[in-house]
Amino acid sequence: MSKIESKYDPIFHGYIMEDTYGCLSPEDSKQWMKMFYWSEKYVSKNFCDRLQYIRNCGSKLVRNAKYGYIIRPVLGVYGWKNKAVYEQNRKILVPYQRLLVLMLKKLREIYP
């Protein structure tokens, strides 16, 4: 399984985030990168780390009429062991639920 890494770039004097799970799910990598950026810049590193964990373990963004996008777990070899494990782990996003919903809706405006 791939992981999401941050690399230090001295030219930009900071860290550049990389969605290395994107090789398994390239169709939504730009959207995840946008969410990582927004979460760290406007909310907290903690929120960004939690989103990265959910992505890294195997999650995709899927278009949704009500929420813009939803986070859908990938189950199996390149994802979560089963739906119950995902459901337990996704609770780390609950403190940021309102902000996450806003971000998912904003993503849909940018990536229709």
User: pLDDT per residue over 12-70, tens digit each?
Assistant: 445 567 898 999 999 999 999 999 999 999 999 999 999 999 999 999 999 999 999 99
E-strand ranges in 1-112 read 5-9, 14-18, 59-64, 68-73
**Confidence at 72, pLDDT banded by 50, 70, 90:** very high
**Confidence at 111, pLDDT banded by 50, 70, 90:** very high
Give this prediction's pTM: 0.84
CB-based contact 58:79 (threshold 8 Å): yes
Range of the domain at 15: 5-107
Answer whether residue 112 is part of any domain.
no
Number of domains in the chain: 1
